[in-house]
Structures are given as C-alpha cells and as structure tokens.
C-alpha cells in the first residue's frame, strides 16, 4: 500500500468515526439542523474516499463520482457552520453553483478519453474555493469563547484550501519532467490536510455547538419566557452592578415599579391567554420606549420594574408619566376584541435612598402601593409617600423606613 493509499484509508476511518459520533450525538441530544448537515458531510467524505480506494481505478466514472461526493460534502460542511451562525444562506448560493459546476464537468469529462487531468484540475480548484468560503464563515464566530474554536477550525480549513489550490497549480504543469512526483507530494499534502482539517472542524463544530447551547441556557435563565424581558434574577444582577457603578461615579439612579390596572378583569373575561397577549404587548411597548442602557424586568404576574441609570427623581417621574400615557393608548387585539389597560407607577431615586438597591426597590414598591390605593392609573414618587403618610399621621417616617427594610 502506497503512502497516499494509507492516508486515504486513515482519513476514511476518521470520517466514518466523525459520522458515527455526530449520529450518536443527535440521538442523545436531539437532532438540530447544523448537526444533520455535519453528519451528512462526514458520510459523503467517507463515501468519496471509499470509492477512490476500492472502486475501479481505471474507470473515469469512479473519479467523477468521488469528486462529486467530495464537493457535495464540503458544501454540506459549509452549511453546517452557517446554520450555527444562524445565517443558513451565507454564501450558500455560491456553494450550490460550485457543486453544479462539478457535477456538470464530471458528467461531461467522464465521457471523454483524454490524458490531461481536467477533472482533477476542476475539483482541486473548486475544493480550494469551497474550503476558503467555509474558513471565512468560521472566522465569523464570536462571543462566549466560541471565536477561538472558530478561528482554530478556520485556519485549518484555510490551509486545506491552499493545499488543493497548490495541487491545481501542479496539475497545470501536466507533462513536465517532475509532474508525477510533484502530484504525488501535493496529493499527500491534500490528504494530510483533509485528515487534520477534519479533526479541527469536528472539534470546532462540537465546541461551538456546546458554546451556543451554553449561551442558550444562560439566555433562558435570564429571560422571562412570556414577555422576553429580564426575569427577577437577571434584573437583580444588573441592578446591583449598576448601583455600584453609580456609587463610584457619584451618579443618580432611579427605579420605577409598575403594575397594570384591570388585569384581573381581562383574565376573567378573556382567560389567561388573553392576559398573556396583553402582557406581551405591554412588554414590547416598554422595550420600545426605553433607552438602550435602561433595564426592564417582569417581576411576576403583571408587575414590572424599570432601572433608569443617570436619572434623578423628577426625570424618573416624567419617564413614568410618558410610559403610563403610552400604555393607556395601547390597544391589544385579541380574537375579535380590542383590549386596553392602564398602569400605575411608583418611583424612587438614589438621591433619597442612597445607593442601597433594596431600599430603592422597597421605596418604589411603597409608592406603587400608594398609587394603587389612591385610585390607580397614576405616578407617585417615594418621597411624596413618606410626606403624605406623616402629614396624615398614619405612621411615623422612621417606622415606615424600618418596616420596608424588614421586607
């Protein structure tokens, strides 16, 4: 067995193992589109190598079939990474054109009897271009550490592309004195490149898939599934970080607690699915109205909390009034009905609470309670709650603060 055949056999075994591994992974964790494409690519590359190794060596159709399978396999490999990028159409048309070009060329050349290796020249060029396109896709990965795996696999595919383009250059010198030796050397390099790049892309694919799954799980852990807003846990983490930042910069930080008025009537009349539609519409309205640096979370039920960095109490009240008016004008269509809701707000600020996140939440929550008790659909600032309660003799200010701190 020659060195080229030994490399072909080793590469065949490796791609078979990659295919089996991908299939087992899909069986255990569920098949995703990118994994299907990756498994198909590994299977086709193994088939191409098996055909080249065990097919009739003198038959032109053997080389044509192996060439088509190789090119189709690389197109599928490209699609697997494009799917992971959530850009399945990335350079996909160009890959399809290259596959069709190879199929057409193989069909025509298999009927011709020529000593010039036109098919090898065509396939070497096409594979080189395909591998370069896949490398460009791999270099596009970023975030949560997956860019390192993407670059590693991208570099290996780029080397693989260069090895095939080098073989295309060698084929152009067909008939030269050193042609046979040069072709054997470059073919060995191409097979070694296939072996190495296959391992690198498999590692990259697995690492990127795991990274994306980790990001997905982290995202699900931070996002309220119904509204797409932050959940209570994620919001608290952001709020504590923002409080520390404001304290270091001696800046202002305001908090708005918001509760929808009349949601019980909506749920009673339209059911919880109708209430869910209202919550989703309100969440979308809040996201649209707030700044990028503001944070909003669904705290539970129909209660929301909004964090406003670099905002004093007067500005927070203005923001709350604007949001209250926007929600009041919101019309949610559910089935054949138009549903509208109102909202009440309580506001607090670090000017009065210090940079104590829990105290700011307690103050804005108390203000929200006062807004609800006073007749709904209004905005009340936390300082006014204290002033009102003290003036009416309901409770001493110190007792009120201590009670909120104990919550």
For every residue of 221-261, DSSP letters joined together read: HHB-TTT-SB-HHHHHHHHHHHHHHHHHHT--EEEEEEEEE
Lowest-pLDDT choice from 77-91, 211-225, 284-298, 317-331 = 211-225
pLDDT in tens, 71-127: 999 999 999 999 888 888 889 999 999 999 999 998 888 777 666 788 899 999 999
Q: Which residue has the tokens 């982290």?
A: 218
- Is the pLDDT reported for residue 400 higher than 60? no
| Angstrom distance (rounded) from CA 145 to CA 150 | 9
CB-count exposure of residue 74 (10 Å: 0-12, 13-18, 19+): buried
| Angstrom distance (rounded) from CA 360 to CA 407 | 12
At 133, the pLDDT band (50, 70, 90 cuts) reads very high
Given a contact cutoff of 8 angstroms between Cβ atoms, the answer to whether 349 and 254 are in contact is: yes
- Provide the whole-model pTM: 0.63
What is the pairing mode between strands 295-300 and 342-349? unpaired
What's the whole-number mean pLDDT along residues 313-323? 93
DSSP state of 392: T
Residue 23 pLDDT? 81
Residue 310 pLDDT? 92
Higher-pLDDT residue of 56 and 164 is: 164
DSSP state of 149: H
| Angstrom distance (rounded) from CA 368 to CA 379 | 8
Lowest-pLDDT choice from 161-175, 205-219, 348-362 = 205-219
Residue 131 pLDDT? 95
- Is the pLDDT reported for residue 321 higher than 50? yes
- Is the pLDDT reported for residue 336 higher than 50? yes
Per CATH, domain 3-221 is 1.20.1070:
yes
And the tokens for 406?
């104990």
Residue 30 pLDDT? 55
Helices (H), 290-310: none
pLDDT in tens, 144-176: 567 888 888 999 999 999 999 999 999 999 888
- Is the pLDDT reported for residue 407 higher than 70? no
Residue 100 pLDDT? 96
What is the pairing mode between strands 379-381 and 342-349? parallel
Cα atoms found within 13 Å of the Cα of residue 270, Cβ hemisphere only: 21
Kindly report the backbone phi and psi dihedral angles of residue 295, in degrees, each rounded to the nearest multiple of 5, phi listed first.
-125, 140
CATH domain 232-405 topology:
Alpha-Beta Plaits (3.30.70)
Calculate the CA dihedral of residues 42, 48, 54, 56 and round it to 10 degrees.
170
Residue 303 pLDDT? 93
Q: Which of 13-22, 23-32, 206-215 has the highest mean pLDDT?
A: 13-22
Look over the chain and give the mean of its residue pLDDT values, rounded to a whole number: 85
Taking the CA atoms of 118, 123, 126 and 128 in sequence, report the sign of the dihedral they define: negative
Taking the CA atoms of 73, 78, 83 and 87 in sequence, report the sign of the dihedral they define: negative
Residue 122 pLDDT? 93
Residue 71 pLDDT? 95
Residue 392 pLDDT? 47
Q: How far is CA 18 from CA 12, 42, 199, in A?
A: 10, 6, 8
DSSP SS3 for 347: strand
- Is the pLDDT reported for residue 47 higher than 70? yes
* 154 CB neighbour count, 10 Å cutoff: 24
DSSP state of 395: S
At 128, the pLDDT band (50, 70, 90 cuts) reads very high
And the tokens for 100?
């069709």
- Domain residue spans of the chain: 3-221, 232-405
- Residue by residue, DSSP assigns 40-62 as HHHHHHHHHHHHHHHS-TT-HHH
Given a contact cutoff of 8 angstroms between Cβ atoms, the answer to whether 168 and 123 are in contact is: no
Domains 3-221 and 232-405 alike in fold? no
- Is the pLDDT reported for residue 399 higher than 50? no
And the tokens for 134?
């896949």
């Amino acid at each position: 067995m020659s060195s080229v055949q030994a490399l072909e056999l080793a590469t065949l075994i490796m791609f078979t193992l990659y295919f089996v591994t991908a299939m087992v992974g899909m069986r255990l964790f569920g098949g995703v589109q990118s994994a299907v494409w990756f498994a198909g690519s590994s299977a086709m590359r193994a088939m191409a190598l098996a055909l080249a190794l065990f097919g009739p060596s003198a038959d032109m159709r053997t080389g044509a079939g192996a060439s088509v399978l190789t090119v189709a396999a690389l197109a599928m490999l490209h699609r697997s990474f494009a799917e992971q990028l959530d850009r399945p159409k990335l350079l996909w048309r160009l890959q399809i054109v290259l596959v069709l070009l190879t199929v057409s060329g193989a069909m025509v050349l298999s009927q011709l009897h020529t000593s010039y290796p036109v098919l090898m020249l065509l396939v070497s060029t096409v594979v080189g271009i395909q591998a370069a396109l896949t490398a460009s896709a791999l270099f596009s990965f970023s975030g949560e550490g997956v860019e390192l795996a993407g670059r590693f696999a991208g570099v290996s595919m780029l080397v693989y592309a260069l090895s095939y383009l080098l073989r295309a250059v060698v084929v152009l010198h067909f008939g030269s004195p050193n042609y046979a030796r040069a072709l054997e050397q470059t073919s060995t390099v191409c097979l070694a490149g296939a072996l190495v790049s296959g391992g690198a892309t498999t590692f990259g694919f697995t690492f990127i898939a795991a990274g994306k799954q980790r990001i997905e799980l982290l995202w699900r852990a931070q996002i309220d599934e119904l509204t797409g807003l932050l959940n209570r846990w994620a919001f608290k983490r952001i709020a504590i970080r923002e409080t520390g930042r404001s304290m270091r910069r001696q800046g202002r930080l305001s908090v708005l607690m918001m509760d929808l008025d009349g949601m019980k009537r909506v749920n009673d009349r339209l059911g919880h699915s109708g209430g869910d539609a209202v919550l989703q519409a309100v969440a979308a309205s809040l996201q649209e109205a707030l700044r990028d640096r503001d944070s909003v979370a669904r705290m539970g039920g129909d209660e929301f909390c909004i964090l406003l960095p670099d905002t004093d109490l007067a500005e927070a009240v203005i923001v709350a009034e604007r949001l209250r008016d926007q929600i009041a004008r919101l019309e949610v269509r559910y089935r054949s009905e138009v549903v509208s809701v109102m909202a009440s707000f309580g506001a607090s600020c670090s000017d009065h609470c210090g940079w104590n996140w829990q105290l700011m939440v307690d103050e804005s929550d108390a203000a929200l309670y006062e807004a609800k008790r006073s007749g709904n659909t209004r905005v009340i600032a936390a300082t006014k709650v204290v002033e009102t309660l003290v003036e009416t003799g309901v409770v001493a200010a110190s007792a009120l603060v201590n009670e909120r701190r104990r919550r």
